[in-house]
Amino acid sequence: MPRRALITGGAGFLGSHLCGRLLAAGFEVLCLDNFKTSVEDNIAQLTSARGFTFIHHDITQPFFIEGPVDYVLHFASPASPPDYLRLPIHTMKVGGLGTYHALGLAKGKRATFLLASTSEVYGDPQVSPQPESYWGNVNPVGPRSVYDEAKRYAEAMALAYHRAHGLRVRIPRIFNTYGTRMRLEDGRALPNFMTQALRGEPLTVYGDGRQTRSLCYVSDLVEGIFRLLLADSPEPLVVNLGNPDEVTVLQLAREVLEVTGSGSKIVHRPLPQDDPLVRRPDICKARQILGWAPVVSRRVGLRRVLPYFQKAVREQARTRAEVLA
């Protein structure tokens, strides 16, 4: 029998790529989503694939899956600042109730549980690069806390299930990732810059632009998650996944202008509250236990993703023109 995996948030940016990776590896994939921050187009190419099933459901509500489930991958959650600032209570419900429901299914099915965590558990770090042993510097009552603390709580709950019930737990702490299927209005630096550059609009850099990010191409990230999912260890594994090649936000904006050939200017706006000033993963653990490291350079990745953003911007402009006509 093929291995059977449930992916919550499976129609999202990362979830949809992961659905495709598991299907290619011979898994049967159950994709659960409610399209609150995702779109059906992300899984349109998968709906006719053998072994793929879509389930329309809100993970904050109880649910049950018939038959065996070998892996439960919990990716459901608003993940970009505009989304979780617009949906603060839902974000915390997904991190709390959603994680509880997903863990309950994994426990009942004796499945391996993988929680998509985030570099945001480190907050605005005072240590760089950030190793998994770092406890973080998070403002528990700031506007970003609805996402940061929801993920920290979800990690704590997953480990509680391991200690109390012996559940096999895998937790990738995902750093900035980019690639096809990102929304134009995602709100994060790269899609913002790409969209603004291709529209001929000024690129918005917050603060002086010296804050750093580390961008990982989506195919690299998905490969790391796949290896972590199948890692042969009875112990819980908490592993950073991301690209340690650090770049300032200002330099990233300049690279986007170069790759798009845009003549747009760069404008500066005030830095949002609690926006991290450094972000760089220590991936020694991933190298050691997974034999994993990113292989797609940022220069290659930006050129690889450019046609996707070009097409998305054209289609959005055409749709807006039709509405106004």
Kindly report the length of the chain.
Answer: 325
Q: Which is higher by pLDDT, 22 or 185?
A: 22
Q: How large is the average pLDDT for residues 83-98?
A: 97
Residue 41's pLDDT is what?
96
**Strand partners of residue 216:** 177
Task: Say whether pLDDT at 214 is over 80.
Answer: yes
Task: Say whether pLDDT at 324 is over 90.
Answer: no
Task: Say whether pLDDT at 325 is over 80.
Answer: no
Domain ranges of the chain: 4-181+216-244+277-296
Q: For the chain, give the mean pLDDT.
A: 96
Residue 1's pLDDT is what?
73
Q: How large is the average pLDDT for residues 23-46?
A: 97
Lowest mean pLDDT among 111-115, 139-143, 198-202, 319-323: 319-323
Q: Which CATH number fits domain 4-181+216-244+277-296: 1.10.357.10, 3.50.50.60, 3.40.50.720, 3.30.2320.50?
A: 3.40.50.720
Residues sharing a CB contact under 8 Å with residue 199, sequence separation 6 or more, in sequence order = 313, 317
Task: Say whether pLDDT at 237 is over 80.
Answer: yes
CA angle at 292 for the pair 287 and 297, rounded to the nearest 5°:
110
Catalytic residue among 147, 161, 178, 217: 147
Residues sharing a CB contact under 8 Å with residue 67, sequence separation 6 or more, in sequence order = 4
Q: Do the Cβ atoms of 158 and 147 come closer than 8 Å?
A: no
Active site residue 178: no
Residue 2's pLDDT is what?
86
DSSP per-residue string spanning 45-66: TTTTSTTEEEEE--TTS-----
Q: Do the Cβ atoms of 241 and 218 come closer than 8 Å?
A: no
Task: Say whether pLDDT at 323 is over 90.
Answer: no
Q: Cα–Cα distance between 271 and 144 in angstroms, integer?
A: 13
Q: How large is the average pLDDT for residues 27-44?
A: 97
CA distances from 241 to 20, 168, 181, 280 (A): 19, 19, 20, 10
Residue 266's pLDDT is what?
97
Residue 75's pLDDT is what?
98
DSSP per-residue string spanning 236-271: -EEEEES---EEEHHHHHHHHHHHHT----EEEEPP
